[in-house]
Structure 1
Amino acid sequence: MTFETVTVEVNGNPLQLSAQRAAFDPQLKSLFIADAHFGKDAVFRAHGLPVPAGATADDLARLDALIAAHAPESIVFLGDLLHGPESLGSATMQALGEWRARHASVRVVMVEGNHDRTAGLLPLALGVETVFEPWRHGPWALCHYPQVIDGAYVLAGHEHPVYVIASRADSVRVPCFRLAARCGVLPAFGAFTGGFVVNQSADDAAIYAVAQNRVIAVRERR
């Protein structure tokens, strides 16, 4: 299956937006991923909610595809790599460990998010560096929470932005990138997540929706 990538200019810098719900800086060779929420299915099952297993495996397969497509030197998770304490269970950690072993040469950095603090410390064997926002990397200030930081363009997550595409008969919510003048918010990478509708946002943000394996510009910067 082919997933489209669209290159946009953000604050004078190229950024590739992927229909796999990630962004790639071709100059830094860095892949940016927000809100993976690995192990969320395990958290729900631990609380008695009968959700199917397999979400983490599916998301890691998409991550493998992104690595194959872009050959990044580093991957930065913009917070909420894990969903909760149950995400540290053996099945999720085994899946993450096997994924990390497949890509041992790639630097992996996690900007701590609110769910990561709740989940607890990652095993050192995973080889994931934990940093705190704002983490400066090239022209970017990498954060979990959307904000404005002097001297850099912020890339963040947390909000899980979605755009509602509607017709007279029906509507559908799709993930989207929301790129304002000084802060861009990436869609949640994890498939098993909710979303915050941004159709009526009053600022000047450009919005790129992800639908049917494509990245679609639905609103340009005003």
Structure 2
Amino acid sequence: MSIGEGLAIDLAGERVLLLPQKALYWPRERTLIVADIHFGKAASFRALGVPVPRGTTSENLAALDGLLAAHDVARIVFLGDFLHAKAAHASATVQTMLAWRRRRPALRLTLVRGNHDERAGDPSALLDIDVVDEPHAAGPFAFCHHPDLAADGYVLAGHVHPVYRLAGRHESLRLPCFVVGARRAILPSFGSFTGGHPVMPAPDERLYLAVEDSVFAVQNW
């Protein structure tokens, strides 16, 4: 898997990298931040009788591994919706996640509960994840799931699964994007089976598209 270096921007006086793999890296704190990974979503659909592909949990973990190999990461912060539903506690899903966790015992994991986590319940204690409610303060940032939550500090959030419709004369693409404003940034959904919601930026916001191995700003909309 090709790992791009990402686009460096300043947020709340901190230099961060917007990564093409739909995550944010905070170098000073060696922290990787991801939103809406939705472990177990495919299992939840299969439990309802919907035939969807298997292997999305392993795919999500492999994506995390690629970023851990490319960056100096001591901590991962999940901005909510770590688990999709109660079906995410299925034995096969949990065992795959536990095997991944056992290979990285020193890695700190923090989950800021999202709306799906409230319904699914907290992940297994064996995963050794520090589970907190939003907003969760760290330096100048307020780690949240919901982007409109009132919080002290610059909000980093998910929930929306933002995508931007890039249109040409005869075709269009829906591309994951970061929404970056004066007081908050919304991260794209990290999960491999999560979909997206088209967004238009507010006057004080910019969009940054995550495309293959690069991130670039949308100049006009």
TM (normalized to structure 1)?
Answer: 0.95
CA distance in 1, matches of 2:117, 2:68: 23
Match of 1:85 in 2: 86
- 1:11, CA displacement in angstroms? 2.2
Deviations 1:84-143 (A, max 9, x none): 000000111011111111211011000000101111132111101110010001111000
CA distance in 2, matches of 1:54, 1:123: 20
More divergent stretch after superposition (204-213 vs 50-59): 204-213
Assess if the C-alpha contact under 8 Å between 1:141 and 1:149 holds in 2.
Answer: no
- 1:184, CA displacement in angstroms? 0.4
CA distance in 2, matches of 1:172, 1:18: 19
Match of 2:20 in 1: 19
Match of 1:212 in 2: 212
Runs of 4+ in 1 over 3 A off after TM superposition: 148-151
- 1:155, CA displacement in angstroms? 0.1
Report how many aligned residue pairs link the two structures: 219
Assess if the C-alpha contact under 8 Å between 1:34 and 1:189 holds in 2.
Answer: yes
In structure 2, relative to structure 1, the CA distance for the partners of 1:49 and 1:3 (3 Å cut) is same
CA distance in 1, matches of 2:122, 2:21: 27
Match of 1:114 in 2: 115
More divergent stretch after superposition (183-192 vs 150-159): 150-159
RMSD between superposed Cα atoms in Å: 1.3
Percentage identity across paired residues of the two chains? 45
Match of 1:165 in 2: 166
Where 1:3 maps in the other structure, the secondary structure is coil
Deviations 1:59-102 (A, max 9, x none): 11010111111121111000000100000001110111111112
Which runs of 5 or more residues in structure 2 are unaligned? Answer: none
In structure 2, relative to structure 1, the CA distance for the partners of 1:101 and 1:183 (3 Å cut) is same
More divergent stretch after superposition (72-81 vs 9-18): 9-18
CA distance in 1, matches of 2:83, 2:142: 21
- 1:149, CA displacement in angstroms? 4.2
**One-letter code aligned to 2:134:** E
Match of 1:74 in 2: 75
Match of 1:135 in 2: 136
More divergent stretch after superposition (10-19 vs 144-153): 144-153
CA distance in 2, matches of 1:14, 1:165: 28
More divergent stretch after superposition (6-15 vs 26-35): 6-15
CA distance in 2, matches of 1:202, 1:73: 34
Deviations 1:33-76 (A, max 9, x none): 10000111000000011001011111110101111111211110
In structure 2, relative to structure 1, the CA distance for the partners of 1:123 and 1:148 (3 Å cut) is closer
Assess if the C-alpha contact under 8 Å between 1:28 and 1:138 holds in 2.
Answer: no
Where 2:173 maps in the other structure, the secondary structure is strand
Assess if the C-alpha contact under 8 Å between 2:142 and 2:151 holds in 1.
Answer: no
CA distance in 2, matches of 1:71, 1:101: 19
CA distance in 2, matches of 1:48, 1:148: 35
CA distance in 2, matches of 1:193, 1:105: 29
Where 2:182 maps in the other structure, the secondary structure is coil
Where 2:218 maps in the other structure, the secondary structure is strand
Assess if the C-alpha contact under 8 Å between 1:140 and 1:153 holds in 2.
Answer: yes
Match of 2:188 in 1: 187
Assess if the C-alpha contact under 8 Å between 2:15 and 2:27 holds in 1.
Answer: yes
Match of 1:35 in 2: 36
